[in-house]
Amino acid sequence: MYKNEFKKLSIFLIISAIIAIGAFCLIGTVNAADVTINNTTGNIRDASINNGSFNAGDTLYLEDGVYSGAGNKDLTVNKNMTIAAVNKGGAIIDMENSGRAFTINAGINLTLINITFINGNITGNGGVIYSGATNIILTITDCTFENNTVNNNGGAVYINGAGSNTTIKNSVFKSNTVSNEIGAVYLVGVNSTNLVDNCIFENNKANNNIAALRMAGEGSNNTLKNSVFKNNTATNDYGAVSFIGVNSTNLVDNCTFENNKAGNSYGALRMDGVGSNNTLKNSVFKNNTAKNYGALEMVGSTNLVDNCTFENNIATDMYGVLRMVGEGSNNTLKNSVFKNNKAYTNGAVGFIGVNGTNLVDNCIFVSNYAVSAGVLAIMGIDSDNTVRNSMFENNTVSNNYGAIHISGIGSNTLLNNVTIVNNSAGINGGGIGFTNDNNVLTIKNSTISDNTAVKEGGALYASGTNQTINIEGSTLVNNSAKIGGALDINGEDSEVNIDSSLFENNSATSSGGAIDINGESHETNINNSTFNNNSAKNGGAINSNGANNNLTANNTDFNNNNAINKGGVINNNGDSNVIVLDNSTATNNSAREGGAISSTGDENEIAIDNTNLSGNNDGILKSEGDDNKITVDNSTITNNTAKDGLITNEGDNNNVAINNTNSTNNTGDIVSNTGNNNTESENNSNITVDVTYETNTDLVIFSGNGQITITAILTNKNTGEKLAGEKVYFYVNGKQVGSATTDKYGEARFIYNVPKTDNYNVYAKTQQTTITNTSGNYTFKESTSLTKTINVNKPLTPAKIKVYSKKTTSKKTKNYKIYYITYSIKNYGEKTGSKTFTKSLKNILKKHKLYKIQTTKNTKYSYNKASKILKTMVKNLAYNKIAKLRITVYRKA
């Protein structure tokens, strides 16, 4: 039994060996047809195409050398074959500027390896390789195509056939030129499959379109990867590459596009086709230029750009880098960097389409420039747009929209976790422009800071009808503009919703330090947010211009906002507007008028409920206009200061109601009304005031009979009321000369007698006084009138001559004692006069003898010895002058 089994096994092994030897011999027979030639002993045509023993699938090996002449060009490939150089680049096929190398018939599979092709030149298409047939397979590996030229399309390779399959790997295309389109490689075919891998395209040129490569065809599958495109030029469109095909799939992966140029559009690449699926990833675009689309455009149903870098690309007109477009398309841009790109319109990227979905995710846009309309433009009808996890920094636009421009009609756009910083616009929208009608913009969890616009909207400029803007959980700080330091909202019937966001240190040189609203029928809702340190000329935080606008702030803090003129927090201009502060805080805000709120217009309603208003300067609210309604409920008003009232009404038929409110430690009256038919009510409220009034002292003076009659009129400068019972001090030539108290007409009078005819400077002054009662403290500040100068003519007083002194002296001689009695006579009147004095000397002469009488020269005397009467006559004695009379008597010692 075992012998039979062994015999069977032996026979099996012998038969297997025979079969194996036969197979080996068969293989040797196939390979034996491969041919090797050199440039002196053979040519390609005779060794392969015309060689009957060179079978389909055989390989022709070319030794090093230049292959030229008739047998090495203008060859029609009619069988499957491989042509390979023995050494890479060693075999050169030179077409000597006349003809091409190969024309490929239908269904043929041609493989080319390690060969250099130069100087192809054909009238028509395909300077080296041409096929217009179907179902060909072309494989090119480690080849070089240089200095080939055609007058139509495809400077090196032209394949145009349905079902074709072309693979080009590890090859170089350099300095190929076409008079029309596709400077190097043209791969087109319905349902074709094309692969270009690890290739270099350099210095290729098309005098019309597509400088280097075109891959196209309906339903085609095209892949371009690991390749470099450098210094290629198209006079018209497509500086390097074009993908075109309906329902095609196109992939560009790990490629570099540098210094390519198109005279019109698409500096480096275009991927185009209705229903196509286009993917660009892991690639670099640098220094490419075109009139439009400095780097590329993608048109199709699904477009993806992932992990790419775009730097220093330029479009002299639109889109410095990229446009993604298509009706109903799905466009995604992610993990990419855009730096230093430039364009006239849209400095970097544009999304355009109807019913499209656009996504920008984890991208960086830095230092891009456009003359107009942002570095990212999202424009589409009824599109759904998302920008998330991305940063826009130091981008500049000379006109409008420094970073992002969102336009279109009926679109919905979300900015989520986006940083927009240090961008600038020469006109409007330093950070974002949001334009056209019926659009929705939502900004969530984002930071928008340090953006500037010369005119409107430092962070965001919005213009359109029926727009909705939602800002949630975001920070807007240090933005600036002339109008709307952070947000500028224009148009009609728009809605702005702000929730859990911070507006801080934004500024406007004109109006709306944080937000400026212009137009009619806007609805603005602010919830759970904070506005700090914003400033403007009007509306330190918010400015609203227009009619029928509603502004509601709920659970929101307004702190340290400032307006040079009106409305430290809110300034409203227009009629029939509604302003509501509910459950909020307004502290330390300031303005010249309306420390917290200023409103100008008719039929406005302002409601303050459950709100703390503290430390605001000039008051909390100023209203100018007629038929306005102001309500303060359940609120606290403390430590505010006002020139007039904490609430000031200027106009007619206004109503102020204060209910259940505590108002203490404020400087200024609670309500000040100027106008007619205004009403004020205070219910269940604790209100004490600390009012300081400015006063004004007017001066009326006149003179007569050597007197100045001075009348001071004291007025409450804030209210115009005349102040009674206030003491007024009067000054002449800088010295206080008297005082008086004002009467019920606010007048105080004083009469001053002038000492002489002269000019006199007169003014009046009051001191600060405080009146305290159950309502609070009322302080009237001191005031000083203007100084008035008056000349007063004082009449001369009559001469008044009298003896003003008598002085007696004596001396003693040996025999006598002598007495000298001297009388001094003075004129106290201002007029010059004369007077006679009569004096009896009888008493003095009882014991003495008269020795002599002496007088000054303006004085004469007569003495009657009998009656002992002395008459002294003083003549023409002037004012304040003195005459003297001396009587000398003696007696024995």
Half-sphere exposure of 869 (CA within 13 A, CB side): 5
| 788 and 805 assigned to the same domain | no
In a domain? residue 131: no
* Both structure tokens of 35: 């041919």
| 776 and 846 assigned to the same domain | no
Give the H/E segment covering residue 15.
helix 2-31
| Range of weakest confidence among 346-355, 534-543, 580-589 | 346-355
Q: Which whole-number Å values give the CA distances from 236 to 122, 317, 427, in the listed order?
A: 22, 14, 33
Q: Using an 8 Å Cβ cutoff, are 451 and 479 in contact?
A: yes
Q: Place 583 in a pLDDT band, splitting at 50, 70 and 90.
A: very high
What's the mean pLDDT in 29-48?
82
Q: What is the mean pLDDT of the chain?
A: 91
| 759 and 816 assigned to the same domain | no
Name every residue whose Cβ is closer than 8 Å to that of residue 29 and which is 6 or more positions away in sequence: none
* Nearest of 714, 701, 781, 699 to residue 745 by alpha carbon: 714
In a domain? residue 761: yes
Q: Give the full edge-to-edge strand order of the sheet including 788-792.
A: 735-741, 727-732, 758-766, 788-792
Domain stops at, among 792, 810, 836 = 792
d(CA 609, CA 716) in angstroms, rounded, equals: 33
Strand-pair partners of 887: 821, 853
| 855 and 836 assigned to the same domain | yes
Residue matched to tokens 């900015």: 415
| 755 and 774 assigned to the same domain | yes
The enclosing domain of 852 has a CATH number of 2.60.40
pLDDT tens digits, 141-173? 999 999 999 999 999 999 999 999 999 999 999
What's the mean pLDDT in 230-254?
94
d(CA 563, CA 533) in angstroms, rounded, equals: 10
Identity of the amino acid at 437: D
| 873 and 847 assigned to the same domain | yes
In a domain? residue 857: yes
| 871 and 841 assigned to the same domain | yes
| 805 and 778 assigned to the same domain | no
| Torsion angle of C-alpha atoms 598, 600, 602, 608, degrees rounded to 10 | -10
The enclosing domain of 744 has a CATH number of 2.60.40.10
| Range of weakest confidence among 142-146, 587-591, 697-701 | 697-701
| 863 and 820 assigned to the same domain | yes
Q: What is the pLDDT of residue 420?
A: 97
Q: Using an 8 Å Cβ cutoff, are 85 and 62 in contact?
A: yes
d(CA 864, CA 31) in angstroms, rounded, equals: 186
With 0-12 CB in 10 A as exposed, 13-18 as middle and 19+ as buried, what is 567?
Answer: buried
User: Does residue 727 register a pLDDT over 80?
Assistant: yes
Name every residue whose Cβ is closer than 8 Å to that of residue 117 and which is 6 or more positions away in sequence: 92, 93, 95, 101, 128, 143, 144, 145, 146, 148, 156
What's the mean pLDDT in 254-278?
92
In a domain? residue 714: yes
How many CB atoms sit inside 10 A of residue 737's CB?
17
In a domain? residue 758: yes
d(CA 400, CA 758) in angstroms, rounded, equals: 72
| Range of weakest confidence among 124-128, 225-229, 569-573, 708-712 | 708-712
The total number of structural domains in the chain stands at: 2
Main-chain phi, psi angles of 855, to 5 degrees = -135, 160
In a domain? residue 885: yes
Residue-by-residue DSSP string for 401-425: -SSEEEEEES-EEEEES-EEES-EE
How big is the chain, counted in residues? 893
Q: What is the pLDDT of residue 830?
A: 83
Q: What is the pLDDT of residue 30?
A: 36
SS (H, E, C) 92-146: EEECCCCECCEEECCCCEEEEECEEEECCEECCCCCCEEECCCCCEEEEECCEEE
| Range of weakest confidence among 287-291, 327-331, 615-619, 818-822 | 327-331
| 771 and 828 assigned to the same domain | no
Q: What is the pLDDT of residue 356?
A: 87
Q: What is the pLDDT of residue 321?
A: 85
Identity of the amino acid at 310: F
What's the mean pLDDT in 802-822?
91
Name every residue whose Cβ is closer than 8 Å to that of residue 129 and which is 6 or more positions away in sequence: 100, 101, 102, 103, 104, 138, 156, 157, 158, 159
* Both structure tokens of 509: 């040189």
The rounded percent of the chain whose pLDDT value lies above 70 is 95
Main-chain phi, psi angles of 29, to 5 degrees = -70, -40
The more confident residue out of 77 and 28 is: 77
With 0-12 CB in 10 A as exposed, 13-18 as middle and 19+ as buried, what is 890?
Answer: middle
Strand-pair partners of 641: 617, 667
Q: Using an 8 Å Cβ cutoff, are 285 and 268 in contact?
A: yes
User: Does residue 5 register a pLDDT over 60?
Assistant: no
- Strands 256-258, 284-286: pairing is parallel
In a domain? residue 392: no
The rounded percent of the chain whose pLDDT value lies above 90 is 75
Q: Using an 8 Å Cβ cutoff, are 290 and 266 in contact?
A: yes
Q: Using an 8 Å Cβ cutoff, are 815 and 893 in contact?
A: yes
Q: Place 755 in a pLDDT band, splitting at 50, 70 and 90.
A: confident
Domain stops at, among 792, 816, 847 = 792
Most trustworthy range by pLDDT among 525-534, 675-684, 823-832, 852-861? 525-534
* Helix, coil or strand: residue 460: strand
Q: What is the pLDDT of residue 771?
A: 76
Residue matched to tokens 């509910």: 582
Residue-by-residue DSSP string for 485-550: SSEEEEEES-EEEEES-EEES-EEEEE-SSEEEEEES-EEEEES-EEES-EEEE-SSEEEESSS-E
What's the mean pLDDT in 662-677?
87
| Range of weakest confidence among 156-170, 419-433, 693-707 | 693-707
Instruction: Please give the residue range of the domain that contains residue 862.
Output: 801-892
| 769 and 848 assigned to the same domain | no
pTM of the model: 0.78
Q: What is the pLDDT of residue 29?
A: 34
Buried b (16+ CB within 10 A) or exposed e, 220-255: bbbbbbbbbbbbbbbebbbbbbbbbbbbbbbbbbbb
Q: Place 774 in a pLDDT band, splitting at 50, 70 and 90.
A: low
User: Does residue 1 register a pLDDT over 60?
Assistant: no
| 887 and 858 assigned to the same domain | yes
* Nearest of 725, 617, 614 to residue 664 by alpha carbon: 614
Residue matched to tokens 């400087």: 667
Q: What is the pLDDT of residue 689?
A: 64
Q: Using an 8 Å Cβ cutoff, are 392 and 403 in contact?
A: yes
* Helix, coil or strand: residue 28: helix
d(CA 119, CA 93) in angstroms, rounded, equals: 9
| Range of weakest confidence among 18-32, 135-149, 404-418 | 18-32
Q: What is the pLDDT of residue 598?
A: 96
Q: Place 692 in a pLDDT band, splitting at 50, 70 and 90.
A: low
In a domain? residue 324: no
Buried b (16+ CB within 10 A) or exposed e, 754-770: beeeeebebbbbbeeee
d(CA 649, CA 600) in angstroms, rounded, equals: 10
| Range of weakest confidence among 500-514, 716-730, 738-752, 829-843 | 716-730
Q: Using an 8 Å Cβ cutoff, are 577 and 545 in contact?
A: no
With 0-12 CB in 10 A as exposed, 13-18 as middle and 19+ as buried, what is 38?
Answer: middle
Domain stops at, among 770, 792, 814 = 792
Q: Using an 8 Å Cβ cutoff, are 466 and 437 in contact?
A: yes
DSSP 70: G
Half-sphere exposure of 857 (CA within 13 A, CB side): 0
